[in-house]
């Protein structure tokens, strides 16, 4: 399937129109800046000084006080959307669905004139799309996203977030699409994102085959990321323990996001990406 196929783009456009209708088209709940300037929402008054725009003078206040004051308004700034797509080898069975979710979120952001920054994430952070804005960037974004492949060794989430911090200082919304199966855990990376004052939303995508163990007997397991192999004997007890461990891990991610006030969503590689995005939109967007 091509991400630039007109049929697929029409599906993305439907989600964008839904977002406009339900939440005004914004991925971020609050786009107002504390800065004061020209805009549409009144914020405060300031004494008129030589050089100020005389058109901002409130003549009604002058009629009452015989003093000149100008109106200040809240400025609206473009939101910056950081889209982090897990492209480590553990995502191979989930990559198409993860890309579709990323395509929908990126499409909405670009059509809302937000600034979109897109990276692939594994042991390092690798650019998928350079920072871009506007409808003219949609096709390059979709082409680059379609061509993204899995790479790297073990996923190092914390290192990737530190790299994001070094490259981009502006606060924004960080959307992480991943299975969150990180050897060193996800806690430190989420803590770092929270400390950087980003709005964070974690979209965890499962492969149903990862949720339980159907293997029995003597087998050789190979890590899809490091290629290390190990001979093990899988009993029913061990299979049940694996299922419980996966469930506990996923529940721990949910609790960690709740504790830190971060957005969280679980989906799977067999669920329809349009329905997933539509459900998020109807719940009020991606504000954590």
Same domain, 68 and 11: no
Q: Which of 25-29, 252-256, 280-284 has the lowest mean pLDDT?
A: 25-29
In a domain, 159, yes or no: yes
Q: 171-217 pLDDT, tens per residue?
A: 999 999 999 999 999 999 999 999 999 999 999 999 988 887 777 77
Same domain, 132 and 145: yes
Of the three residues 59, 76, 93, the one that is the final residue of a domain is: 76
Same domain, 122 and 250: yes
Same domain, 54 and 98: no
pLDDT score, position 235: 84
Among the listed residues 90, 209, 88, the one whose alpha carbon sits nearest the alpha carbon of residue 150: 88
Q: Which residues pair with 174 in a beta bridge?
A: 82, 200
Domain CATH number, residue 242 = 3.40.50.410
Q: 25-50 pLDDT, tens per residue?
A: 445 444 444 444 444 555 566 777 77
The whole-number average pLDDT for the span 255-272 is 93
Mean pLDDT, the chain, rounded, equals 85
Residue tagged 């783009």 (tokens): 9
Confidence (pTM): 0.80
Indicate whether 286 pLDDT > 80.
no
Phi, psi of 211 (to 5 degrees): -80, -15
Same domain, 49 and 156: no
Same domain, 263 and 160: yes
**Residues of the domain holding 55:** 32-76
pLDDT score, position 68: 81
Indicate whether 93 pLDDT > 60.
yes
Q: Which of 20-34, 84-98, 233-247, 253-267 has the lowest mean pLDDT?
A: 20-34
How many structural domains is the chain composed of? 2
Same domain, 105 and 200: yes
pLDDT score, position 33: 45
Same domain, 162 and 47: no
The rounded percent of the chain whose pLDDT value lies above 90 is 56
Residue tagged 């190990």 (tokens): 230
Same domain, 240 and 267: yes
Structure tokens at 165: 């911090």
Structure tokens at 262: 């971060």
In a domain, 58, yes or no: yes
The whole-number average pLDDT for the span 16-29 is 67
Torsion of CA 156, 207, 142, 253, to 10 degrees: -50
- How far, in Å, CA of 199 to CA of 29, rounded? 10
Same domain, 72 and 90: no
pLDDT score, position 113: 87
Same domain, 13 and 152: yes
């Amino acid at each position: 399937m091509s991400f630039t196929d007109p049929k697929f783009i029409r599906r993305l456009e439907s989600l964008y129109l839904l977002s406009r209708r339900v939440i005004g088209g914004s991925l971020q709940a609050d786009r107002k800046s504390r800065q004061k300037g020209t805009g549409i929402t009144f914020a405060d008054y300031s004494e008129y000084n030589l050089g100020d725009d005389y058109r901002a003078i409130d003549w009604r206040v002058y009629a009452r006080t015989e003093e000149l004051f100008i109106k200040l308004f809240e400025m609206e700034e473009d939101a910056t959307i950081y889209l982090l797509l897990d492209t480590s080898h553990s995502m191979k069975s989930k990559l198409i669905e993860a890309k579709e979710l990323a395509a929908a979120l990126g499409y909405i952001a670009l059509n809302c004139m937000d600034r979109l920054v897109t990276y692939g994430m594994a042991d390092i952070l690798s650019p998928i799309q350079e920072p871009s804005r506007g409808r003219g960037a949609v096709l390059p974004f979709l082409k680059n996203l379609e061509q993204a492949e899995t790479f790297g060794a073990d996923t190092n989430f914390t290192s990737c977030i530190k790299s994001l911090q070094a490259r981009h200082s502006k606060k924004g919304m960080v959307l992480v699409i991943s299975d969150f199966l990180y050897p060193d855990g996800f806690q430190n990376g989420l803590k770092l994102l929270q400390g950087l004052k980003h709005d964070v939303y974690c979209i965890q995508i499962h492969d149903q085959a990862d949720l339980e163990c159907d293997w029995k007997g003597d087998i050789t397991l190979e890590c899809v990321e490091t290629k290390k192999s190990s001979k093990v004997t899988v009993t029913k007890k061990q299979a049940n323990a694996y299922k419980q461990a996966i469930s506990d891990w996923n529940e721990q991610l949910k609790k960690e996001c709740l504790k830190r006030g971060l957005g969280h969503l679980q989906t799977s590689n067999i669920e329809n990406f349009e329905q997933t995005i539509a459900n998020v939109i109807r719940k009020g967007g991606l504000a954590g």
